[in-house]
Structure 1
Amino acid sequence: MVAIADTCVALLAGLAIFPIIFANGMDPTAGPGLIFMSLPLAFQQMPFGTAFGVLFFAMVSIAALTSAISMIEATVAYLNEKHGISRMKAAIGSGAVLLVISLLAMLSFNLLSGWTPMGKNFFDWLDYLTSRWMMPLGGIFTVLLAGYALRSEIMRDELALPPLGYALWLFMVRYVCPVLILMVFLHALGWLGFDPLARWYWIAGVIGVLTIAGELLRPRVVPALAGR
Protein backbone atom coordinates (compact mmCIF):
# COMPACT_ATOMS: atom_id res chain seq x y z
CA MET A 1 0.00 0.00 0.00
CA VAL A 2 2.86 2.38 0.75
CA ALA A 3 4.34 1.85 -2.71
CA ILE A 4 0.95 2.38 -4.37
CA ALA A 5 0.31 5.55 -2.37
CA ASP A 6 3.78 6.87 -3.17
CA THR A 7 3.25 6.24 -6.89
CA CYS A 8 -0.14 7.97 -6.83
CA VAL A 9 1.31 11.02 -5.08
CA ALA A 10 4.12 11.19 -7.64
CA LEU A 11 1.62 11.03 -10.51
CA LEU A 12 -0.51 13.76 -8.95
CA ALA A 13 2.58 15.92 -8.48
CA GLY A 14 3.42 15.47 -12.15
CA LEU A 15 -0.10 16.42 -13.18
CA ALA A 16 0.21 19.58 -11.09
CA ILE A 17 3.71 20.60 -12.17
CA PHE A 18 3.90 19.84 -15.89
CA PRO A 19 0.94 22.02 -17.00
CA ILE A 20 2.67 24.96 -15.32
CA ILE A 21 5.92 24.09 -17.06
CA PHE A 22 4.38 23.95 -20.53
CA ALA A 23 2.26 27.05 -19.93
CA ASN A 24 5.37 29.07 -19.07
CA GLY A 25 7.60 27.66 -21.81
CA MET A 26 10.00 25.86 -19.46
CA ASP A 27 12.15 22.89 -20.35
CA PRO A 28 10.38 19.73 -19.09
CA THR A 29 13.71 17.87 -19.02
CA ALA A 30 15.28 20.24 -16.51
CA GLY A 31 15.20 17.58 -13.80
CA PRO A 32 14.50 17.89 -10.07
CA GLY A 33 15.02 21.65 -10.18
CA LEU A 34 11.62 21.99 -11.84
CA ILE A 35 9.90 21.99 -8.48
CA PHE A 36 11.77 25.16 -7.55
CA MET A 37 10.96 26.84 -10.86
CA SER A 38 7.36 25.84 -11.56
CA LEU A 39 5.69 25.86 -8.15
CA PRO A 40 6.75 29.42 -7.23
CA LEU A 41 4.98 30.56 -10.41
CA ALA A 42 1.87 28.70 -9.33
CA PHE A 43 1.98 30.15 -5.82
CA GLN A 44 2.29 33.66 -7.26
CA GLN A 45 -1.07 33.25 -8.97
CA MET A 46 -2.85 31.96 -5.85
CA PRO A 47 -4.49 33.97 -3.06
CA PHE A 48 -2.14 33.88 -0.06
CA GLY A 49 0.36 32.22 -2.37
CA THR A 50 3.37 33.38 -0.38
CA ALA A 51 2.09 31.75 2.80
CA PHE A 52 1.24 28.52 1.00
CA GLY A 53 4.64 28.58 -0.70
CA VAL A 54 6.46 28.92 2.61
CA LEU A 55 4.44 26.06 4.11
CA PHE A 56 4.97 23.86 1.07
CA PHE A 57 8.73 24.26 0.91
CA ALA A 58 8.96 23.85 4.68
CA MET A 59 7.23 20.48 4.29
CA VAL A 60 9.57 19.65 1.41
CA SER A 61 12.50 20.36 3.73
CA ILE A 62 11.04 18.06 6.39
CA ALA A 63 10.50 15.34 3.78
CA ALA A 64 14.09 15.73 2.58
CA LEU A 65 15.41 15.53 6.14
CA THR A 66 13.46 12.38 6.99
CA SER A 67 14.51 10.81 3.68
CA ALA A 68 18.14 11.63 4.45
CA ILE A 69 17.83 9.90 7.82
CA SER A 70 16.55 6.73 6.20
CA MET A 71 19.23 6.87 3.51
CA ILE A 72 22.17 7.11 5.89
CA GLU A 73 20.82 4.31 8.09
CA ALA A 74 22.28 1.70 5.73
CA THR A 75 25.70 3.36 5.94
CA VAL A 76 25.47 3.72 9.71
CA ALA A 77 24.47 0.08 10.13
CA TYR A 78 27.32 -1.05 7.86
CA LEU A 79 29.95 0.98 9.72
CA ASN A 80 28.60 -0.19 13.06
CA GLU A 81 28.28 -3.88 12.27
CA LYS A 82 31.27 -4.41 9.98
CA HIS A 83 33.83 -1.96 11.35
CA GLY A 84 32.77 -1.63 14.99
CA ILE A 85 32.21 2.14 14.80
CA SER A 86 29.63 3.38 17.27
CA ARG A 87 26.29 4.42 15.83
CA MET A 88 26.74 7.99 17.04
CA LYS A 89 30.12 8.41 15.34
CA ALA A 90 28.88 6.68 12.20
CA ALA A 91 25.78 8.87 12.10
CA ILE A 92 27.77 12.07 12.64
CA GLY A 93 30.32 11.14 9.99
CA SER A 94 27.71 10.09 7.45
CA GLY A 95 25.65 13.18 8.18
CA ALA A 96 28.70 15.41 7.74
CA VAL A 97 29.46 13.92 4.34
CA LEU A 98 25.83 14.26 3.32
CA LEU A 99 25.80 17.87 4.54
CA VAL A 100 28.84 18.76 2.44
CA ILE A 101 27.33 17.18 -0.67
CA SER A 102 24.02 18.95 -0.03
CA LEU A 103 25.72 22.32 0.43
CA LEU A 104 27.65 21.90 -2.81
CA ALA A 105 24.44 21.02 -4.62
CA MET A 106 22.67 24.04 -3.13
CA LEU A 107 25.52 26.41 -3.94
CA SER A 108 25.47 25.24 -7.56
CA PHE A 109 22.61 27.68 -8.15
CA ASN A 110 24.43 30.75 -6.78
CA LEU A 111 28.02 30.92 -5.50
CA LEU A 112 29.23 27.91 -7.50
CA SER A 113 27.06 28.51 -10.55
CA GLY A 114 30.13 29.46 -12.58
CA TRP A 115 31.88 26.16 -11.84
CA THR A 116 30.67 23.94 -14.66
CA PRO A 117 33.15 21.21 -15.57
CA MET A 118 32.17 19.69 -18.91
CA GLY A 119 29.13 21.94 -19.06
CA LYS A 120 27.48 20.75 -15.83
CA ASN A 121 27.48 22.25 -12.36
CA PHE A 122 27.75 20.11 -9.24
CA PHE A 123 23.99 19.66 -8.94
CA ASP A 124 23.70 18.59 -12.58
CA TRP A 125 26.54 16.10 -12.17
CA LEU A 126 24.96 14.73 -9.02
CA ASP A 127 21.63 14.36 -10.79
CA TYR A 128 23.30 12.79 -13.82
CA LEU A 129 25.26 10.23 -11.82
CA THR A 130 22.36 9.23 -9.60
CA SER A 131 19.57 9.12 -12.19
CA ARG A 132 21.53 7.86 -15.20
CA TRP A 133 23.99 5.48 -13.51
CA MET A 134 23.42 4.67 -9.86
CA MET A 135 19.66 4.08 -9.94
CA PRO A 136 19.61 1.76 -12.99
CA LEU A 137 22.67 -0.17 -11.82
CA GLY A 138 21.23 -0.39 -8.33
CA GLY A 139 18.00 -1.73 -9.79
CA ILE A 140 19.83 -4.37 -11.81
CA PHE A 141 21.89 -5.52 -8.83
CA THR A 142 18.78 -5.58 -6.64
CA VAL A 143 16.79 -7.83 -8.96
CA LEU A 144 19.80 -10.10 -9.44
CA LEU A 145 20.22 -10.33 -5.69
CA ALA A 146 16.54 -11.08 -5.13
CA GLY A 147 16.26 -13.46 -8.06
CA TYR A 148 19.46 -15.43 -7.73
CA ALA A 149 21.48 -14.81 -4.59
CA LEU A 150 18.79 -14.93 -1.90
CA ARG A 151 17.27 -18.26 -1.05
CA SER A 152 13.83 -18.95 -2.43
CA GLU A 153 12.54 -19.83 1.03
CA ILE A 154 13.41 -16.38 2.34
CA MET A 155 11.73 -14.54 -0.53
CA ARG A 156 8.67 -16.79 -0.43
CA ASP A 157 8.20 -16.14 3.27
CA GLU A 158 8.72 -12.40 2.89
CA LEU A 159 6.37 -11.97 -0.07
CA ALA A 160 3.69 -14.37 1.17
CA LEU A 161 2.46 -14.95 -2.38
CA PRO A 162 0.54 -17.97 -3.65
CA PRO A 163 2.61 -20.45 -5.69
CA LEU A 164 1.50 -19.07 -9.05
CA GLY A 165 2.09 -15.48 -7.95
CA TYR A 166 5.53 -16.32 -6.61
CA ALA A 167 6.47 -18.14 -9.83
CA LEU A 168 5.39 -15.12 -11.88
CA TRP A 169 7.31 -12.76 -9.59
CA LEU A 170 10.41 -14.93 -9.81
CA PHE A 171 10.23 -15.03 -13.61
CA MET A 172 9.90 -11.24 -13.77
CA VAL A 173 12.76 -10.63 -11.35
CA ARG A 174 15.14 -13.13 -12.91
CA TYR A 175 14.62 -12.56 -16.61
CA VAL A 176 12.30 -9.68 -17.48
CA CYS A 177 13.30 -6.89 -15.10
CA PRO A 178 17.09 -7.13 -15.67
CA VAL A 179 16.64 -6.92 -19.44
CA LEU A 180 14.18 -4.02 -19.31
CA ILE A 181 16.24 -2.06 -16.79
CA LEU A 182 19.35 -2.62 -18.90
CA MET A 183 17.52 -1.40 -22.02
CA VAL A 184 16.35 1.74 -20.25
CA PHE A 185 19.85 2.30 -18.88
CA LEU A 186 21.56 1.97 -22.26
CA HIS A 187 18.88 3.99 -24.05
CA ALA A 188 19.18 6.85 -21.54
CA LEU A 189 22.94 6.94 -22.09
CA GLY A 190 22.51 6.86 -25.87
CA TRP A 191 24.38 3.58 -26.19
CA LEU A 192 21.54 1.40 -27.43
CA GLY A 193 21.40 2.56 -31.04
CA PHE A 194 17.68 1.87 -31.51
CA ASP A 195 14.34 2.60 -29.91
CA PRO A 196 13.45 -0.26 -27.54
CA LEU A 197 9.72 0.19 -28.16
CA ALA A 198 10.21 -0.16 -31.92
CA ARG A 199 12.20 -3.38 -31.46
CA TRP A 200 10.10 -4.93 -28.72
CA TYR A 201 10.24 -8.31 -30.43
CA TRP A 202 14.03 -8.30 -30.07
CA ILE A 203 13.66 -7.70 -26.37
CA ALA A 204 11.08 -10.48 -26.10
CA GLY A 205 13.47 -12.81 -27.91
CA VAL A 206 16.33 -11.88 -25.59
CA ILE A 207 14.13 -12.54 -22.57
CA GLY A 208 13.13 -15.92 -24.01
CA VAL A 209 16.74 -16.94 -24.66
CA LEU A 210 17.82 -15.77 -21.21
CA THR A 211 14.95 -17.69 -19.63
CA ILE A 212 15.98 -20.94 -21.28
CA ALA A 213 19.69 -20.42 -20.62
CA GLY A 214 19.06 -19.27 -17.08
CA GLU A 215 16.99 -22.28 -16.18
CA LEU A 216 19.64 -24.57 -17.63
CA LEU A 217 22.50 -22.83 -15.80
CA ARG A 218 20.65 -22.02 -12.59
CA PRO A 219 21.89 -25.07 -10.64
CA ARG A 220 25.43 -23.70 -11.05
CA VAL A 221 24.79 -19.95 -11.04
CA VAL A 222 22.64 -19.69 -7.93
CA PRO A 223 25.08 -21.42 -5.53
CA ALA A 224 27.95 -19.35 -6.94
CA LEU A 225 26.13 -16.05 -6.42
CA ALA A 226 24.93 -17.06 -2.99
CA GLY A 227 28.40 -18.15 -1.94
CA ARG A 228 27.32 -21.70 -1.28
Structure 2
Amino acid sequence: SLSLGMGILVTYSSYFPKKENLKTTAFSVSFCDFLVAFLMGFIVFPAVTSFGLADDGSGLQSTALVFVTLPQVFAQMPLTQLWSALFFLLLTIAALTSTVSICEVSILFLQEKMRFSRVKSVLIVVLPLLVLSPLCSLSQGVLSDFTIMGKNIFDFLDSTTTYYMLPVAALLTCIYVGWIVPEEFFRNQITNFGTIAKRVYPVVRFLVRYVAPLLIISIFIYQLI
Protein backbone atom coordinates (compact mmCIF):
# COMPACT_ATOMS: atom_id res chain seq x y z
CA SER A 1 0.00 0.00 0.00
CA LEU A 2 3.03 2.28 0.24
CA SER A 3 3.86 1.52 -3.40
CA LEU A 4 7.37 0.38 -2.54
CA GLY A 5 9.61 -0.55 -5.44
CA MET A 6 7.52 1.35 -7.99
CA GLY A 7 9.17 4.77 -7.95
CA ILE A 8 5.89 6.38 -6.92
CA LEU A 9 7.15 7.87 -3.65
CA VAL A 10 10.20 9.29 -5.42
CA THR A 11 8.01 10.78 -8.13
CA TYR A 12 5.54 12.38 -5.74
CA SER A 13 8.27 13.68 -3.44
CA SER A 14 9.80 15.49 -6.41
CA TYR A 15 6.76 17.79 -6.33
CA PHE A 16 7.45 18.84 -2.72
CA PRO A 17 8.82 22.31 -2.03
CA LYS A 18 12.53 22.38 -1.24
CA LYS A 19 11.86 23.25 2.41
CA GLU A 20 9.62 20.21 2.97
CA ASN A 21 10.64 18.14 5.99
CA LEU A 22 11.01 14.72 4.36
CA LYS A 23 11.65 12.99 7.68
CA THR A 24 8.36 14.14 9.20
CA THR A 25 6.42 13.52 6.00
CA ALA A 26 7.81 10.00 5.55
CA PHE A 27 7.06 9.10 9.16
CA SER A 28 3.51 10.49 8.98
CA VAL A 29 2.67 8.65 5.76
CA SER A 30 4.18 5.37 6.97
CA PHE A 31 2.47 5.56 10.36
CA CYS A 32 -0.96 6.35 8.89
CA ASP A 33 -0.60 3.54 6.35
CA PHE A 34 0.41 1.07 9.07
CA LEU A 35 -2.43 2.18 11.34
CA VAL A 36 -5.09 1.77 8.64
CA ALA A 37 -3.73 -1.65 7.61
CA PHE A 38 -3.54 -2.76 11.25
CA LEU A 39 -7.13 -1.72 11.96
CA MET A 40 -8.37 -3.32 8.74
CA GLY A 41 -6.74 -6.57 9.78
CA PHE A 42 -8.71 -6.49 13.02
CA ILE A 43 -11.93 -5.82 11.09
CA VAL A 44 -11.67 -8.03 8.01
CA PHE A 45 -10.01 -11.23 9.16
CA PRO A 46 -12.16 -11.83 12.27
CA ALA A 47 -15.25 -11.30 10.10
CA VAL A 48 -13.99 -13.76 7.50
CA THR A 49 -13.07 -16.31 10.16
CA SER A 50 -16.34 -15.98 12.07
CA PHE A 51 -18.31 -16.89 8.95
CA GLY A 52 -16.10 -19.94 8.34
CA LEU A 53 -14.66 -18.66 5.07
CA ALA A 54 -10.98 -19.07 5.93
CA ASP A 55 -10.80 -22.76 6.75
CA ASP A 56 -8.47 -23.76 3.90
CA GLY A 57 -6.74 -20.39 3.59
CA SER A 58 -7.74 -19.90 -0.04
CA GLY A 59 -10.34 -17.31 0.92
CA LEU A 60 -7.64 -15.07 2.37
CA GLN A 61 -5.70 -14.67 -0.88
CA SER A 62 -5.82 -11.18 -2.37
CA THR A 63 -8.19 -11.67 -5.28
CA ALA A 64 -10.34 -14.28 -3.54
CA LEU A 65 -10.59 -12.11 -0.42
CA VAL A 66 -11.86 -9.09 -2.35
CA PHE A 67 -14.11 -10.66 -4.97
CA VAL A 68 -15.28 -13.89 -3.32
CA THR A 69 -14.85 -13.96 0.45
CA LEU A 70 -15.88 -10.42 1.43
CA PRO A 71 -19.04 -10.45 -0.75
CA GLN A 72 -20.03 -13.64 1.09
CA VAL A 73 -19.44 -11.86 4.39
CA PHE A 74 -21.63 -8.95 3.27
CA ALA A 75 -24.33 -11.40 2.16
CA GLN A 76 -24.66 -12.60 5.75
CA MET A 77 -24.91 -9.09 7.21
CA PRO A 78 -27.92 -6.75 7.47
CA LEU A 79 -28.24 -4.23 4.61
CA THR A 80 -26.26 -6.49 2.29
CA GLN A 81 -26.73 -4.39 -0.84
CA LEU A 82 -25.71 -1.19 0.94
CA TRP A 83 -22.46 -2.58 2.33
CA SER A 84 -21.60 -4.35 -0.92
CA ALA A 85 -22.22 -1.24 -3.03
CA LEU A 86 -20.26 0.96 -0.64
CA PHE A 87 -17.34 -1.49 -0.52
CA PHE A 88 -17.00 -1.82 -4.28
CA LEU A 89 -17.43 1.94 -4.75
CA LEU A 90 -14.53 2.60 -2.38
CA LEU A 91 -12.56 -0.20 -4.03
CA THR A 92 -13.09 1.45 -7.43
CA ILE A 93 -11.88 4.80 -6.08
CA ALA A 94 -8.82 3.13 -4.55
CA ALA A 95 -8.07 1.36 -7.84
CA LEU A 96 -8.38 4.56 -9.86
CA THR A 97 -6.17 6.60 -7.53
CA SER A 98 -3.60 3.78 -7.49
CA THR A 99 -3.65 3.70 -11.29
CA VAL A 100 -3.00 7.44 -11.41
CA SER A 101 -0.02 7.00 -9.10
CA ILE A 102 1.43 4.14 -11.13
CA CYS A 103 0.99 5.98 -14.43
CA GLU A 104 2.49 9.19 -13.08
CA VAL A 105 5.94 7.60 -12.81
CA SER A 106 6.11 6.79 -16.52
CA ILE A 107 4.37 10.00 -17.53
CA LEU A 108 6.85 12.16 -15.64
CA PHE A 109 9.75 10.19 -17.13
CA LEU A 110 8.48 10.85 -20.66
CA GLN A 111 8.01 14.53 -19.86
CA GLU A 112 11.42 15.13 -18.32
CA LYS A 113 13.67 12.73 -20.26
CA MET A 114 11.93 12.53 -23.64
CA ARG A 115 10.60 16.10 -23.56
CA PHE A 116 7.11 15.01 -24.53
CA SER A 117 4.10 17.15 -23.68
CA ARG A 118 1.86 16.17 -20.77
CA VAL A 119 -0.97 15.13 -23.08
CA LYS A 120 1.28 13.04 -25.32
CA SER A 121 2.89 11.36 -22.32
CA VAL A 122 -0.50 10.48 -20.84
CA LEU A 123 -1.69 8.98 -24.12
CA ILE A 124 1.47 6.90 -24.55
CA VAL A 125 1.12 5.43 -21.05
CA VAL A 126 -2.65 5.13 -20.68
CA LEU A 127 -3.76 3.86 -24.11
CA PRO A 128 -1.85 0.54 -23.89
CA LEU A 129 -3.34 0.02 -20.43
CA LEU A 130 -6.85 0.59 -21.76
CA VAL A 131 -6.23 -2.01 -24.46
CA LEU A 132 -4.50 -4.67 -22.35
CA SER A 133 -6.17 -4.33 -18.93
CA PRO A 134 -9.52 -5.86 -20.05
CA LEU A 135 -7.62 -9.13 -20.52
CA CYS A 136 -7.20 -9.28 -16.74
CA SER A 137 -10.94 -8.92 -16.22
CA LEU A 138 -11.78 -11.42 -18.94
CA SER A 139 -9.39 -13.93 -17.36
CA GLN A 140 -11.98 -14.34 -14.61
CA GLY A 141 -14.62 -15.18 -17.22
CA VAL A 142 -14.43 -16.07 -20.90
CA LEU A 143 -10.62 -16.32 -20.86
CA SER A 144 -10.44 -18.38 -17.67
CA ASP A 145 -9.25 -21.41 -19.64
CA PHE A 146 -6.28 -19.48 -21.05
CA THR A 147 -3.38 -20.00 -18.66
CA ILE A 148 0.27 -19.01 -18.40
CA MET A 149 2.38 -21.39 -16.33
CA GLY A 150 -0.78 -22.85 -14.87
CA LYS A 151 -2.32 -19.49 -13.93
CA ASN A 152 -4.89 -17.29 -15.60
CA ILE A 153 -3.78 -13.91 -16.91
CA PHE A 154 -4.77 -11.96 -13.80
CA ASP A 155 -3.12 -14.33 -11.32
CA PHE A 156 0.00 -14.63 -13.49
CA LEU A 157 0.48 -10.86 -13.69
CA ASP A 158 -0.36 -10.46 -10.00
CA SER A 159 2.16 -13.07 -8.85
CA THR A 160 4.83 -11.91 -11.32
CA THR A 161 4.69 -8.29 -10.18
CA THR A 162 4.28 -9.07 -6.47
CA TYR A 163 6.83 -11.84 -6.08
CA TYR A 164 9.44 -10.88 -8.67
CA MET A 165 9.23 -7.46 -10.31
CA LEU A 166 8.62 -5.35 -7.18
CA PRO A 167 11.37 -6.95 -5.04
CA VAL A 168 13.86 -6.69 -7.91
CA ALA A 169 12.91 -3.05 -8.55
CA ALA A 170 13.21 -2.23 -4.84
CA LEU A 171 16.60 -3.95 -4.64
CA LEU A 172 17.92 -2.09 -7.69
CA THR A 173 16.65 1.16 -6.19
CA CYS A 174 18.56 0.50 -2.96
CA ILE A 175 21.73 -0.33 -4.90
CA TYR A 176 21.42 2.77 -7.07
CA VAL A 177 20.63 5.17 -4.23
CA GLY A 178 23.05 3.63 -1.74
CA TRP A 179 26.06 2.94 -3.93
CA ILE A 180 25.80 4.84 -7.24
CA VAL A 181 24.18 8.19 -6.41
CA PRO A 182 26.86 10.63 -5.16
CA GLU A 183 26.81 10.77 -1.36
CA GLU A 184 26.66 14.56 -1.30
CA PHE A 185 23.57 14.60 -3.51
CA PHE A 186 21.88 11.93 -1.38
CA ARG A 187 22.73 13.82 1.83
CA ASN A 188 21.35 17.07 0.44
CA GLN A 189 18.08 15.41 -0.52
CA ILE A 190 17.60 13.79 2.89
CA THR A 191 18.67 16.81 4.94
CA ASN A 192 17.30 19.58 2.70
CA PHE A 193 20.85 20.79 2.07
CA GLY A 194 21.88 20.42 5.70
CA THR A 195 18.92 22.22 7.27
CA ILE A 196 17.12 19.21 8.82
CA ALA A 197 17.60 15.58 9.87
CA LYS A 198 21.39 15.76 10.06
CA ARG A 199 21.52 12.99 12.67
CA VAL A 200 19.08 10.82 10.74
CA TYR A 201 21.09 10.80 7.50
CA PRO A 202 23.78 8.27 8.58
CA VAL A 203 21.05 5.92 9.77
CA VAL A 204 19.10 6.26 6.53
CA ARG A 205 22.21 5.68 4.44
CA PHE A 206 23.12 2.58 6.46
CA LEU A 207 19.59 1.20 6.10
CA VAL A 208 19.52 1.84 2.35
CA ARG A 209 22.97 0.36 1.70
CA TYR A 210 22.88 -2.71 3.94
CA VAL A 211 19.69 -3.47 5.87
CA ALA A 212 17.06 -2.92 3.17
CA PRO A 213 18.88 -4.97 0.47
CA LEU A 214 19.35 -7.90 2.87
CA LEU A 215 15.68 -7.84 3.85
CA ILE A 216 14.56 -7.61 0.23
CA ILE A 217 16.81 -10.51 -0.79
CA SER A 218 15.48 -12.56 2.13
CA ILE A 219 11.88 -11.89 1.08
CA PHE A 220 12.70 -12.70 -2.54
CA ILE A 221 14.34 -16.01 -1.62
CA TYR A 222 11.43 -16.88 0.67
CA GLN A 223 9.02 -16.36 -2.23
CA LEU A 224 11.05 -18.74 -4.39
CA ILE A 225 11.12 -21.54 -1.83
Q: TM-score range by the shorter chain?
A: 0.7 to 0.9
CA distance in 1, matches of 2:94, 2:141: 23
Worse-matched range after superposition: 51-60 or 162-171: 162-171
Choose the corresponding residue for 2:220, options 156, 162, 185.
185
- How far the C-alpha of 1:188 sits from its partner, in A, is 0.6
CA distance in 2, matches of 1:3, 1:132: 22
1:6 partnered with 2:27: no
* 95 and 162 in structure 1: CA distance in 2 versus 1, 3 angstrom threshold: closer
CA distance in 2, matches of 1:173, 1:110: 43
User: Match of 1:105?
Assistant: 136
Greater radius of gyration (CA): 1
Worse-matched range after superposition: 89-98 or 150-159: 150-159
Map 1:1-228; keep pairs closer than 5 Å. 1-22=28-49, 23-24=52-53, 25=55, 26-27=57-58, 30-160=61-191, 162-190=197-225
User: Match of 2:8?
Assistant: none
1:11-67 CA deviation, whole Å, 9 max, x = no partner?
222333323444213515633441122221222222212112112211111111111
1:53-112 CA deviation, whole Å, 9 max, x = no partner?
112211111111111112111211222333333221221231122223321111111111
CA contact 1:17–1:38 (8 Å) conserved in 2? no
CA contact 1:20–1:42 (8 Å) conserved in 2? yes
Worse-matched range after superposition: 40-49 or 61-70: 40-49
CA contact 1:104–1:122 (8 Å) conserved in 2? yes
Q: Which has the higher contact order (CA 8 A, sep 6+)?
A: 2
Higher helix share: 1
Any idea what SS the aligned residue of 2:219 has?
Answer: helix
CA distance in 1, matches of 2:48, 2:132: 28
CA distance in 2, matches of 1:158, 1:85: 26
CA contact 1:17–1:35 (8 Å) conserved in 2? no
CA distance in 1, matches of 2:71, 2:205: 45
- How far the C-alpha of 1:162 sits from its partner, in A, is 4.0
CA distance in 1, matches of 2:59, 2:172: 30
User: Match of 1:224?
Assistant: none
* Unpaired runs of at least 5, structure 2: 1-27
Aligned length: 190
* 185 and 28 in structure 1: CA distance in 2 versus 1, 3 angstrom threshold: farther
CA distance in 2, matches of 1:30, 1:66: 22
CA distance in 2, matches of 1:125, 1:48: 35
| RMSD of aligned residue pairs (Cα, Å) | 2.0
TM-score normalised by L of structure 2: 0.76
- How far the C-alpha of 1:174 sits from its partner, in A, is 0.6
Any idea what SS the aligned residue of 2:36 has?
Answer: helix
- How far the C-alpha of 1:118 sits from its partner, in A, is 2.2
CA distance in 2, matches of 1:95, 1:144: 30
- How far the C-alpha of 1:163 sits from its partner, in A, is 4.1
CA distance in 1, matches of 2:183, 2:93: 38
